[in-house]
Amino acid sequence: MTAAPSPSFDRITELTTDQLRARLPEALQIYVTAMNYPPATAQQRAPMWSAHMLRAGWRCIGAFNDHDELVGLGYGYLGAPGQWWHEQVRRGLLSSGGDAEAWLDEYFELTELHVYPGSQGVGLGEEILRRLLAGAQGSKVLLSTPEGPTRAWRLYRRVGFGDVLRNYRFTGDPRPFAVLGRSLPLEPR
């Protein structure tokens, strides 16, 4: 396992698919560390992240320290019928009486947003989120996050995300998740 990069960040920029592919091991290390997943999870997720890069409306924002090490990233794309997450959320909304048609039409799926733990708490996650959503297509944004009081929860609430579906269990993961959403664009700070 490689050591975590220094916690400071020097620049935040949009990444192309080629740029993220070149840094995929770094990006997946952030994901595994931030989510406290077993290291082997990175190898399992790599093909999925690569497939996501091919979806309509995909965009990615990366944050780098002064040694050009990736310390945070966020990406997403336009959600659509037939995509795994879309179908899972649709099923959950239909079974809970939620308004699947209203939420699952013309939305940007905020798929991943992760910051190394040592770089959290200084506004980096919010800056990545705001830059990512500033150029996102769609009239709204949706995301899922594990239930519980975390920095991610505080961030999402602070920028206006509301409940769409709570305590939902995605296929293959026993933890309860919340699906949160809001309209786009975000209000300025």
Residues identified as active-site: 156
Asked, as a colleague might, if the bond just before 38 is cis with ω within 30 of 0, I would say no
User: Angle, nearest 10°, between helix axes 24-35 and 41-52?
Assistant: 120
CA-based end-to-end distance of the chain:
38
Note whether 186 and 158 are within 8 A (CB): no
| Closest C-alpha among 154, 182, 153, 177 to residue 166 | 177
Note whether 20 and 58 are within 8 A (CB): no
CA separation for the pair 52, 12 (Å, rounded): 21
Note whether 178 and 148 are within 8 A (CB): no
